[in-house]
Structure 1
Amino acid sequence: MCLMKIKKMKRQCCLAIPIFLFYLMLAAKDAHSQSNVRPKSVISGLVIDETLKPVPGTVISLLNHADSVLVKAAITDSLGKYLFEDIAFGNYIISSKMMGYSTMFSKSFQLTESRSQIAVEQFQLKMDSRSLKEISIVGQKNLIERKIDRLVMNVESSVLAEGNTVLELLEKAPSVSVDRDGNISMRGKPNVLIMLDGKATNVSSADVANILRNMQSNQVESIELITNPSARYDAAGTAGIINIKRKKNKAEGWNGVVQAGAGYGETSKYNGGTSLNYRNNRINFFGNYDYVNNGSKGTLDLNRIVNFMDTITRFNQSGGLDQRKKDNLYRVGLDYFVNKNHTIGVLMTGYSNRETITSKTNTLRENNFDQREDMNFLGNNKEKSWNTSFNLNYKGILDKKGKELSADVDYSHYYHNHDEIIDSKYTRINLLPRAPSSVMNFATSKIDVRSFKLDYSQPINKSSKLEAGLKSSFVSSDNNLLLARLQQSVWVPDVDYTNLFLYDENINAAYVNVNKAFKKTEIQVGLRGEQTVSKGNSVTNNQVVKRNYFDLFPSLAIAQSLGENHRLGFTYSRRIDRPNYGSLNPFLNFVDEYTFNKGNPYLKPQYSSSFELSDTYKGKITGAIYFLRTRDIMALVTEQDDATQKTVAIQRNIDSHQMVGMSLFIPFQLTKWWSMQNNIQAGYVMIKSELNGGHLNNTQKVASYFMNSSFIIDKSLQAESSLQYNTPAAFGIFKMRSQTVFNVGMKKTFNEKLQLSVNVNDVFNSRRDRVSTTYQNMNINFTQKSESQIARLTLTYRWGKSTVPESRQRSTGITEESNRLKN
């Protein structure tokens, strides 16, 4: 069997690798045949003050001459110089903005093929004599920016971004929420596809959270929230895509960043990291390493009622955990520029995590016959995981008309080990005595992902563009669970809780996407097809589940300008979420003798259709209405056996989940030194299903409000605050209560290289998850509180040249698979 698998994989690899090499040969041939490629356009200049000294940190804006629309922005380096490259031909003007100086504009100039390199007349800035209250805030993007198909959170310009982790940044993003375990949802829906620079992280959903906890905010430029992605993206992610774009480097030579930080809430937290970049006209070498040592505490209070015949039993559980995580995250890569149009690159990313968790739980079980049992559980858990991913990438411009081809070959190996011992002690009243017990949980997961991807784009004419691509991915998963009980000082395996589960999956996809621009209208239409072939084998239970299905995923986006003030947008997409690999494993995972987790081998994928209509007023205020319908939604439910009083948490398919809502984004300039962004979401959630022999009807009005305020105190000191409020919500059989979080931060810039920031997250320590359900025989209420009130101090030092040409932001072939590697 294994030999047949290997032979099959070899045949698939043998087909994919020659195709990849064939395109490389074509690209190399084109590289030598292109002698009439459009010359590289360059716009450069210098900014000085009244004493003729250079002015670093000045914001330079390249504007269209006709309508003054921003084309690109840059910041002057330590010598007062700036540079724009690869700008389309046309008529432009340049403006300079610097706090304390008057805004200046250049004369208009024309960039043409014969005049492709332009040195703009130098700006000599003059001091602005107005007081601070009269100084305009310039040179800084709004934290939240609305675009036609996405919402962009400009982290680079945010004070709150300093000293935080990327996961904490997501907590501050509009319409995004992160629970205690690091699970991310958008507009109240889970199953969000998380991407870094257009690619996934090739790890489990739990380890995606680990990576985002380890990644520091000074590495991030922006966070894109995409609710209706185009056909170019994998169809996974019914809630949409969150793309985290890292900062790019901007001129030849060496540069780097060193950062160290410390924080404290209920436990200590330390982090440090460094990044390095070198570039010349032939190669770009880059790498970064981050280390995080974080402690965290949390509490859980749970109440459960079981009715069986004439007995009413109550479970009152309270507990806490104390955990310490030591994480290492690295990324290293090399790009080789064959010439200005063709690049070959290699990339290796990885991480290793070690975690220790001590948990103490007290459960009081009592009934209406005065029978009581006081149970104390002490858990000692050690976890370690590591992941290594490799990417080989080619990207090329094939002719002067703009034909582009990119190819990726990816391999990722993931390993996770879970080792836990639970000691139990019992005190009983009106019940027979019970001896202490010990249980050991031991689980390992090994997952390999291979992917081959080709993307091609071609301008049809000046206003139209065609995109097409192919992708194949192969996943092999090996999961082993062992539970043993201590009997007379010997660990004896319990066959009821021991299982071996193997899972193999192949997804083949193809897409086509067409973009057409008219005078006031832009249309993008796409279609993606995906075939899924999978086999889940529970070796212990001798249970095999096979699947083979094909789906089409259309997408549509339309933008229409109505006069000067209004720009309408309409987007539609159909998407899919396949089950996480761990959710298919039918083993029983022991939590305590009355609580278990279980996988569902018959869990089906869920499908969603999403519509959104938006209007942007004067490029600032944006309103939208949307409708989202999901079929066979995968939801975690609890199922209770009244006779044994045991509860099992398992994922089931729920027939229908619908949400209709509206969003409103409103920026305010309250004073010259105080700006504010506001995002409001409101809607109605309808969940209906025939589930476990009952009729589920869980409906809820939902709303959220996000506010961010930025304050310019002086040229080197900025402050920021944010407020996020979520009303009660519903998902599956559960209802969640409201939540409010308030954060503050301050940043001091000493020069262009040294920066100090102070942040306090969840100032009022109000963040907690309060959840309940009363479906069928279930009556559960619980509250989880994680350590969220944390103060941090971060020092950042940048060295080397401040303008190194940007390194490539490429996407790899492993996207959906990464977010499905659930433990």
Structure 2
Amino acid sequence: MRKAILIIISILLTYSYNTYAQGGAKGSISGKVTDANTKQPVDYATVSIFKQGSTSPFNGMSTDAKGSFKIDNVPAGDYKVTVDFLGYQKTTIEHVIVGGNPSTSVLNNILLQPSSKQLQTVNVVAKAPIIENRIDKTVYNAANDLTSQGGVAIDVLKKVPQVTVDIDGNVELQGNANVRFLINGKPSSIFGASLADALQAIPASQIKSIEVITSPGARYDAAGTGGIINIILKDNKVQGINGSINLAAATRRENGSFNFSARKGNVGINAFFSGNAQLNTTVLSNSTRTSTDADGNVSTLAQNGSASSKRSGYQSGLSFNWSITPKDEFTATVGFNHFGNSNAGLTNQLQQQYNPANTLLSTLASARNSDSRFSANAVDWSLAYKKNFKTEGQTLEFLFNSSRSNNTSRYSQQQDYLTGGYPSTGSRANNPGKDRETNVSLDYVQPVTKSFTLETGAKVVINNLSNSVVTDSLLNDGSYINNADQTYGFNYKRNIYAAYVSATFSVFNKFLDLKPGLRNEYTTTTADFQNVTIPSYNTLVPSMVLSHKFNDAQSIKLSYNYRIERPDYRDVNPFYNISDPYNISTGNPNLKPEKSNSLELGFNQSFNSGASFSANVFYRHNSDDLQDYSTRYDVLTINGRDYYDVLLSQRANIGTQTSVGGNLFASVPVTSKFNLRSNVFLISRNNNNPGIANVTGFGYRINLNASYQFGNDLTAEAFGNYNSSQRVLQGTRPQFFFYNFAVRKQFMDKKASIGLMATNPFGLYVNQRSVTEGVGFRQLNLRQLPFQSFGITLSYKFGKLEFSKNKGERGNNEGGENMPSAPEGGGTK
């Protein structure tokens, strides 16, 4: 498949211009709308076309982020065009002539004059929909989501189409856990430290939107076989001084955020600080493992205990934006991120062994006290420059982005034997590490004609990681001595050199829009693991998008993608985590990249009533599939020490995985005040593993959101989500169900609000039952996690809204900030 797609894309990239030139065009009207004073583009201005003598428009659209518009399929004739936007005087252009076969009436630069009327208070009733289905991504506008506002990024992701989140915060996109996460279109080393912890350190009130990109084009990095999730944080480009304060207090989690922006003319700054804390939570666990050795003896291991856990984190950031000229923009940002967690627990253990005749051979009872802690601190900073040329759509972008994080993980455990007369055993380890990642990219867009655009760019990624481990063992007198065999350090370096080219054009008289692309990435890796050499490799990454727009409300898209997943340093780190001597984990330095071919077909439909519907189906085939795999050992020797009845878990390249699935989303305004929204995700996975039995599993996720508007200032919302159980490579994944309720009251001209929220109010625990099995063992697991929560949210917005229209400026957005549209990410993402 990949070779065939490469040939097709090469032909399209080579001959696409000729293909375009041979096509015809229907009549159209195009132009650009600009602020008459600032000369900045006016986006979201309303352009309407009237037949001469008619009082009602028969066609129209909104301008894009560059102030441009083009209305196709206009019959030959004489028309009147009007352009209107809040805060501006309406402009009318008479006698716009459209000829025939083909004809494009170009209105050039339409200047809008700001309205002289002083606006003391501006309330815009319209707001962005929760879900936006765009041609290349799905956008979830979190600012208008009530039930998630007291939570964190994980809570928002649970509502996003095609995204699945389990109770521990593990994220999958279209059923694939290998997801590339970005913040404001840029990578951050904070995700490499601990993805689940990082996502639980970002308050939902700080998130403007989440972009889901299941079929990334050539401009994006090839990493992430599942796709890309881009978290857009709130910022502000409105003139004047503006800001907001958000606070949430609940029985399970507390968080808050502060946002401030100031802009005068062409210079602006944004600053924010946010933090959260998960209060002390006690999780109950119970597991029973049954295993058989080579002699037919049966061993059972029962572990029953509880563990208390805490999480906390905070973020801060500062950005400076300077519109040097109307066509030159410079942005500098710096941010600091911190999160950490701690877990402490007591586990009672009973180990028994029986011979084939079911006679008890031995009994060993013990109690294990354990403690583990993790913390991460990261600093991200970037410099970006964008140049817009005189030719519409011609741009040059430069991005320098650097991320540095310091991470520390440590554990201690002591096992006291209640039978057998054995002395206590134990260990403790301290594992500090550093992660340095630098991205430098250059992107150029060249419109060859009005309907043919060429994009190209290059990128360098430099990643340096260092890690050191100090492990001590418990002596009989209660003191500790250094374990030299488990004390070491290593350095890991990976560089990626990438370049890409893509084209956007139409064929068959603009019936079909195409975007073929080709990206090349060369990867070099060095690591000072003993007896391990990681070879360099080159990856050619084709992509293709074909789309057809039936009308402004209906479109269909077919895309192909080839992507890879490189093992990260946690996957290859040979450090043994022995915080539980019966369940040990380690990395695998010999891992290879996972490779993926995927096809996706999507259909979107919107209706005049405000309802919308989308459907996506996909096929994905992974080779050298990266999976967590557990192997049981009667005796496992680690650096000269024996551990008994052990499950060793590590990542491995295990055969192939084929996934087929689909996603259905619908939003229906039942009345002007009552809205229903539902999302259904289905997937079937087949793992074909040489030497291991093939495994096929079916799973689904379904949720329902209902909201009701009681007047202009009181809103209520309810949300329920169910993730089914699913058969996986070694056992079953547990089901997960939760539900939320929220109500919000706005006051002070909607500058302030107070809300009440509840999560699982009728049940204290969520029970997680799962099975893990492999050669010679089967383990039943039960975890009981406290999930019930009651809370209150408070928010206040301050500042004055001035209608001096700058690029990206918006009016008041009910439920959120005065936000510009989400950035395209800056650079080759």
Please state which band the TM-score falls in when normalised by the shorter chain.
0.7 to 0.9
Residue 206 of structure 1 and its aligned partner are, at CA, apart by 4.8
- Unaligned segments of structure 2, at least 5 residues: 1-30, 39-43, 50-56, 72-80, 95-105, 355-359, 636-643, 810-819
In structure 2, the CA distance between the partners of 1:399 and 1:141, relative to structure 1 (3 Å rule), is: closer
Residue 556 of structure 1 and its aligned partner are, at CA, apart by 0.8
Q: Deviations over 1:293-334 (max 9, x none)?
A: 322422332221111123211111122222233322111121
CA RMSD, 1 decimal:
3.2
1:284 is the counterpart of 2:279: no
What amino acid sits opposite 1:307 in the alignment?
T
Residue 69 of structure 1 and its aligned partner are, at CA, apart by 5.7
Worse overlay, 595-604 or 764-773: 764-773
Residue 580 of structure 1 and its aligned partner are, at CA, apart by 1.4
Q: Residue 416 of structure 2: which of 425, 449, 457 is its match? A: 425
Worse overlay, 169-178 or 633-642: 169-178
In structure 2, the CA distance between the partners of 1:342 and 1:232, relative to structure 1 (3 Å rule), is: same
What amino acid sits opposite 1:291 in the alignment?
G
In structure 2, the CA distance between the partners of 1:621 and 1:355, relative to structure 1 (3 Å rule), is: closer
1:570 is the counterpart of 2:524: no
Q: Residue 334 of structure 1: which of 308, 320, 331 is its match? A: 320
1:225 is the counterpart of 2:208: no
Residue 244 of structure 1 and its aligned partner are, at CA, apart by 1.9
Which structure 2 residues correspond to residues 377-388 of structure 1 after superposition, within 5 A?
377-388=368-379
Q: Which residue of 2 aligns with 1:474?
A: 462
Q: Which residue of 2 aligns with 1:324?
A: 310
Worse overlay, 214-223 or 543-552: 214-223
Residue 733 of structure 1 and its aligned partner are, at CA, apart by 2.4
1:650 is the counterpart of 2:647: no
TM-score normalised over the length of structure 1? 0.82
CA distance in 2, matches of 1:250, 1:184: 32
Q: Which residue of 2 aligns with 1:678?
A: 678
Q: Which residue of 2 aligns with 1:796?
A: 795
Q: Which residue of 2 aligns with 1:343?
A: 329
Q: Which residue of 2 aligns with 1:305?
A: 290
Q: Which residue of 2 aligns with 1:528?
A: 519
Structure 1 contact 513–526 (Cα < 8 Å) conserved: yes
Structure 1 contact 422–438 (Cα < 8 Å) conserved: yes
Q: Residue 554 of structure 1: which of 542, 560, 567 is its match? A: 542
Structure 1 contact 251–801 (Cα < 8 Å) conserved: no
CA distance in 1, matches of 2:720, 2:84: 36
Q: Which residue of 1 aligns with 2:496?
A: 507
Q: Which residue of 2 aligns with 1:760?
A: 758
CA distance in 1, matches of 2:378, 2:493: 19
Structure 1 contact 226–242 (Cα < 8 Å) conserved: yes
Q: Which residue of 1 aligns with 2:12?
A: none
Which structure 2 residues correspond to residues 145-156 of structure 1 after superposition, within 5 A?
145-156=132-143
Q: Which residue of 1 aligns with 2:27?
A: none
Residue 635 of structure 1 and its aligned partner are, at CA, apart by 0.5
Structure 2 contact 150–255 (Cα < 8 Å) conserved: no
Residue 698 of structure 1 and its aligned partner are, at CA, apart by 1.0
In structure 2, the CA distance between the partners of 1:757 and 1:64, relative to structure 1 (3 Å rule), is: farther
TM-score normalised over the length of structure 2? 0.81
Q: Which residue of 1 aligns with 2:177?
A: 190
Q: Residue 356 of structure 1: which of 324, 334, 342 is its match? A: 342
1:741 is the counterpart of 2:738: yes
Residue 408 of structure 2: SS of its match in structure 1? strand
Q: Which residue of 1 aligns with 2:258?
A: 274
In structure 2, the CA distance between the partners of 1:455 and 1:784, relative to structure 1 (3 Å rule), is: farther
CA distance in 2, matches of 1:731, 1:522: 39
CA distance in 1, matches of 2:482, 2:442: 48
In structure 2, the CA distance between the partners of 1:594 and 1:116, relative to structure 1 (3 Å rule), is: same
CA distance in 2, matches of 1:678, 1:409: 40
In structure 2, the CA distance between the partners of 1:764 and 1:522, relative to structure 1 (3 Å rule), is: farther
Structure 1 contact 406–454 (Cα < 8 Å) conserved: yes
Structure 1 contact 472–506 (Cα < 8 Å) conserved: yes
Structure 1 contact 312–367 (Cα < 8 Å) conserved: yes
CA distance in 1, matches of 2:434, 2:826: 20
What amino acid sits opposite 1:503 in the alignment?
Y
Q: Which residue of 2 aligns with 1:4?
A: none
In structure 2, the CA distance between the partners of 1:190 and 1:768, relative to structure 1 (3 Å rule), is: farther
Q: Which residue of 1 aligns with 2:627?
A: 635
Structure 1 contact 41–87 (Cα < 8 Å) conserved: no
Residue 438 of structure 1 and its aligned partner are, at CA, apart by 3.4
Structure 1 contact 686–697 (Cα < 8 Å) conserved: yes
CA distance in 2, matches of 1:63, 1:160: 36
What amino acid sits opposite 2:678 in the alignment?
N
CA distance in 2, matches of 1:438, 1:603: 30
Q: Which residue of 1 aligns with 2:5?
A: none
1:495 is the counterpart of 2:484: yes
Q: Deviations over 1:102-141 (max 9, x none)?
A: xxx98966895564114579999xxxxxxxxxxxx97244
What amino acid sits opposite 1:505 in the alignment?
R
CA distance in 1, matches of 2:517, 2:435: 32
What amino acid sits opposite 1:227 in the alignment?
T
CA distance in 2, matches of 1:123, 1:352: 44
CA distance in 2, matches of 1:674, 1:413: 47
What amino acid sits opposite 1:719 in the alignment?
A
Residue 526 of structure 1: SS of its match in structure 2? strand
Q: Which residue of 2 aligns with 1:167?
A: 154
Q: Deviations over 1:734-776 (max 9, x none)?
A: 3213322222211111133111122223445464543323332
In structure 2, the CA distance between the partners of 1:148 and 1:115, relative to structure 1 (3 Å rule), is: closer
CA distance in 2, matches of 1:88, 1:618: 20
CA distance in 2, matches of 1:143, 1:563: 22
Q: Deviations over 1:468-512 (max 9, x none)?
A: 111111111111122211223432122343332221111100111
- Percent of aligned pairs sharing the same letter: 22
Q: Deviations over 1:692-719 (max 9, x none)?
A: xx32311012222122111112210111
Which structure 2 residues correspond to residues 115-264 of structure 1 after superposition, within 5 A?
115-118=110-113, 139-264=126-251
Q: Which residue of 2 aligns with 1:593?
A: 581
Structure 1 contact 249–803 (Cα < 8 Å) conserved: no
- Unaligned segments of structure 1, at least 5 residues: 1-36, 45-59, 74-83, 97-104, 125-136, 817-823
In structure 2, the CA distance between the partners of 1:605 and 1:777, relative to structure 1 (3 Å rule), is: same
Residue 198 of structure 1 and its aligned partner are, at CA, apart by 1.4
Residue 174 of structure 1: SS of its match in structure 2? coil
Residue 224 of structure 2: SS of its match in structure 1? coil
Which structure 2 residues correspond to residues 603-614 of structure 1 after superposition, within 5 A?
603-614=591-602
Residue 815 of structure 1 and its aligned partner are, at CA, apart by 8.7
In structure 2, the CA distance between the partners of 1:93 and 1:742, relative to structure 1 (3 Å rule), is: farther
Structure 1 contact 199–815 (Cα < 8 Å) conserved: no
In structure 2, the CA distance between the partners of 1:683 and 1:381, relative to structure 1 (3 Å rule), is: closer
Residue 367 of structure 1 and its aligned partner are, at CA, apart by 2.4
Structure 2 contact 409–432 (Cα < 8 Å) conserved: yes
What amino acid sits opposite 2:769 in the alignment?
R
Residue 445 of structure 1 and its aligned partner are, at CA, apart by 0.9
Worse overlay, 562-571 or 336-345: 562-571
CA distance in 1, matches of 2:371, 2:47: 60
Q: Which residue of 1 aligns with 2:687?
A: 687
Structure 1 contact 623–664 (Cα < 8 Å) conserved: yes
May I ask how many residue pairs the two structures share in their alignment? Answer: 725
